Amino acid sequence: MADDLPENAPPGIDPSTPTFARVYDYFLGGKDNFAADREVADMVMQLVPEAPVVAQGNRVAIERAVTYMARDLGIDQFVDIGSGLPTSSNVHQFARAANPDSRVVYVDNDPIVLAHGRALLTETGVATFIQGDLYEPEKIFTDPALTRLLDLSRPVGIVLAAIIHHVPDERDPAGVVRELLPFLASGSHVVLTHLHDSGDDPRVEEAKRILQSGLGGSYFRHSSEVERFMEGLTILEPGVAHVTEWRPAGPAGPLEHPLHTQMVAVLGRKD
């Protein structure tokens, strides 16, 4: 359960308001979270004790996708939009393990994510962290820190890990993804992971309610909806698939827990 100990937060951070980035950090065993975040996470885990495996499965899918892009497709520059808090393994580590020349720009609009990201992930010539909002792609792709590190005339790998499922239908998730594409050169790729409405675990319905009320929106969608978000891209094999099935020969071994069906992954190419 969430504790009642006083917590010190950086200036401008409200520790009483939970955020998905910090709940996700807690699910992954991190320490950059507050009592309000742990309270939401604990309520979910009371219903679905295995909930952290969804976060873990998402991370494995991103590792596989980034490794595939860097190793097999020759992509050596990446933009991770809505990157969340740094973990023990991050996109630039995945990318550089497969291609040592890789460079990564991390983007987030959460002040605590920015503070931690800039302290831990910024590495001259390799990775940098910028403030940006998914709904304002022009500001992201014209940010001087991004354009200094990346050459947008060449293919880029875009990472949208567990972020589009926070975009409500009225904000047009497909349109949000589509508005990124004009800034990308041909040969660029976009990987997207999304909470999946599998409909086969009744406990998940109450967990959905807690996430949506506690975090202001986490939308579980069917794979056919997720596929629609990739309009304008050529979807690569195996299409929209549970993280258990998305390139299972990739890093980190097989994922076999039933709750991994609550997260899907898809990779698309801009032709």
CA distances from 191 to 69, 78, 206 (A): 10, 11, 28
pLDDT reported for residue 111: 76
Rounded to 5 degrees, φ, ψ at 104 are: -135, 135
In a domain, 128, yes or no: yes
In a domain, 43, yes or no: no
In a domain, 208, yes or no: no
In a domain, 203, yes or no: no
Q: Looking at the predicted structure, is the pLDDT value of residue 1 above 50? A: no
CATH number of the domain to which 96 belongs: 3.40.50.150
Q: What is the pTM of this model?
A: 0.81
In a domain, 120, yes or no: yes
Please name the amino acid found at residue 87: T
Domain span including residue 95? 54-198+224-270
Residue-wise pLDDT for 41-59, tens only, equals 787 777 666 667 777 788 8
Residue-wise pLDDT for 171-196, tens only, equals 999 999 999 999 999 999 999 999 88
Residues in CB range of 69: below 8 A, 6 or more apart: 75, 78, 95, 157, 189, 191, 267
More confident residue, 71 or 5: 71
CB 54 within 8 A of CB 204: no
Count: domains in the chain: 1
Residue-wise pLDDT for 108-165, tens only, equals 987 777 777 777 666 678 899 999 999 999 999 999 999 999 999 999 999 999 899 8
Greatest distance between any 2 Cα atoms in the chain: 53
